[in-house]
Amino acid sequence: MPRLLLLLFVALLFLPALPAAQAQSKADDNTAESALYQGRGPRWLNRLLTTSPVLRQHHVGLSISDATTGEALYELNAGQYFTPASTMKLFSLYAGLHLLGDSLPSLRYVVRPDSLLFWGTGDPTLLHGDVPSRRAFAFLQSRPEKLFYLPIPCVEALGPGWSWDDYTYYFSPERGPFPVYGNTVRFYSRPNQPLRVLPTSFAALVEPAPPGFPAADHVRRAELENRFFVRPSAKSWVDETPFRTSPGLLLKLLQDTLRRPVQALPWQLRPQDTLRTLRGLPVDSLYRRMLQVSDNFLAEQLLLMCSSQLGADSLNTDRTIRAVRQEFLADLPDPLRWVDGSGLSRLNLATPRDLTALLLKLHQEVPEPRLLSLLAGGGGHGTLRRGYHDARGPWFWGKTGTLTNTHNLCGYLRTRKGRLLAVSFLNNNYVVETSVVRKEVERILAQVRDRL
């Protein structure tokens, strides 16, 4: 009997401890969850993010700092890596600001007794449909010497990690040392009128669309050759399709355009040659177009132009990236993985606080009116034209970055109190429609505008 009482006493002694232990375990779990999923900063902002039904199933990162003082105001997953998409164009801008000066290097050349040898710097503006320059055209057309084109060694036409099946779409032209017409063909269709094709030399390469042609496309190019399939339509439309580049095609296009012979020579310079540079458009004309409409081709060519300023022997994107990282971005919070100029590659990786640190650098180094004028502004032109503005005008200026399952926003937010904030809001790996994520990002940032 005493033994039975003893066992009963022991059971009663430990019975209350079980719920207590469970409660402590649950509290520890909550603490761990708080450390993992809650950001550092205002609780109301943290609550907006962590309770959002739109954001809860994908990878979200947010970094907010005062653009003037650099003070960190809020961070959520700010040190984790994301696919940055087109927000990488901000790094391309930073490279250009440090390496290009006030105008684009249009081409480089050497004058010999009866010959002019010229080669590309990567300048994409020669007869470009949206940022056109005729400076190189007028220069080459008017020179009295014989013209010889030198194909300078250059990176591959398509960048590392690009989606191969984007080759036929306007946002993925091939990179190159001497682009002309933006390395694309433009098609203009009007009811009861012949199809208009520019450059006109591509008109002979147009064919009717075959059976099974995608209903969403007006034009598709054959994968490995310049054959363009066009679907007839009763409505007007304009389309832009990249062409396959080659030195031979470039010579043909130059001769057709300049209306004079252009011959090719192997890439070789003499020690006694004096290298000269023809300057082109003001840099801001390219920066503005690149950032506001997120032009991938301009961003890629920008890094090649930067490379031309670092050495005359080749055009190499990696050389530009190495130089900028070592000389100007060594103090970023986290190591940056940077492989192209446009952000088309999913090999790029950046953290939200890296992007915010870049925004702070840009704000310190570029006068604010100029900086904001280069970016897409809420309610204005470009990728932010449908949001981020109210009766007072735009309240966000920045750069979007959108790929499949990816939507990011980096830029500057003006609060109701007049404070300018540097914001990097990154969303990766979602499965809902991008429009849903875009609206949620704007809803949350509107609260930041009103309450910070």
| Cα-Cα-Cα-Cα dihedral sign, residues 211, 215, 216, 219 | positive
Q: What is the mean pLDDT of residues 167-185?
A: 96
Residue 269's pLDDT is 85
The pLDDT confidence band at residue 96, using thresholds 50, 70 and 90, is very high
Q: Is the pLDDT of residue 137 over 90?
A: yes
Residue 40's pLDDT is 81
Cα-only R_g, the chain: 28
Here the tokens at position 394 are 């735009």
Residue 10's pLDDT is 41
DSSP string, 399-439: EEEEETTEEEEEEEEE-TTS-EEEEEEEEES--S-HHHHHH
User: Which tens digits make up the pLDDT trace of 29-46?
Assistant: 343 334 334 568 889 999
In angstroms, the Cα distances linking 377 to 9, 29, 151, 371, 373 are 74, 43, 39, 11, 8
On whether the CB atoms of residues 378 and 389 are closer than 8 A, the answer is yes
Q: ∠356-362-364 over CA atoms, to 5°?
A: 105
Q: ∠49-54-59 over CA atoms, to 5°?
A: 70
340: Cβ contacts below 8 Å, ≥ 6 apart: 88, 159, 160, 161, 162, 300, 303, 317, 347, 348
- What is the rounded CA–CA span in Å between residue 11 and residue 17? 10
Are β-strands 72-76 and 59-66 bridged in parallel, bridged antiparallel, or unpaired? antiparallel
Q: What number of other Cβ atoms are within 10 A of residue 387's Cβ?
A: 18
Q: What is the mean pLDDT of residues 163-187?
A: 95
Q: What is the pTM of this model?
A: 0.89
Residue 391's pLDDT is 83
At 39, give phi and psi (nearest 5°): -90, 175
Q: Is the pLDDT of residue 4 over 70?
A: no
Q: What is the mean pLDDT of residues 309-315?
A: 90
Provide the angle, in degrees to the nearest 10, between the axes of the packed helices 247-258 and 135-142: 80
All structural domains of the chain, each given as residue ranges with its CATH number in brackets, are 41-84+349-451 (3.40.710.10), 180-244 (no CATH)
Q: Is the pLDDT of residue 8 over 80?
A: no
Residue 26's pLDDT is 42
Residue 216's pLDDT is 82
Provide the angle, in degrees to the nearest 10, between the axes of the packed helices 283-292 and 296-310: 140
Q: Is the pLDDT of residue 234 over 90?
A: no
- What is the rounded CA–CA span in Å between residue 298 and residue 286? 7
Provide, rounded to the nearest whole percent, the portion of the chain with pLDDT above 70.
Answer: 91
Q: What is the mean pLDDT of residues 122-130?
A: 95
The pLDDT confidence band at residue 302, using thresholds 50, 70 and 90, is very high
In angstroms, the Cα distances linking 113 to 117, 140, 147, 225, 273 are 11, 16, 12, 39, 11
Residue 38's pLDDT is 56
| Cα-Cα-Cα-Cα dihedral sign, residues 97, 103, 104, 108 | negative
282: Cβ contacts below 8 Å, ≥ 6 apart: 102, 103, 104
Residue 399's pLDDT is 97
Residue 186's pLDDT is 96
Task: Mark residue 41 as left, alpha or beta (left: phi above 0; alpha: psi -120 to 50; beta: remaining).
Answer: left
- What is the rounded CA–CA span in Å between residue 145 and residue 260? 11
What's the residue count for the chain?
A: 452
Residue 435's pLDDT is 96
Helical spans, DSSP H, in 196-282: 247-258
- What is the rounded CA–CA span in Å between residue 78 and residue 59? 11
Closest by CA position to 260, among listed 144, 345, 434, 390: 144
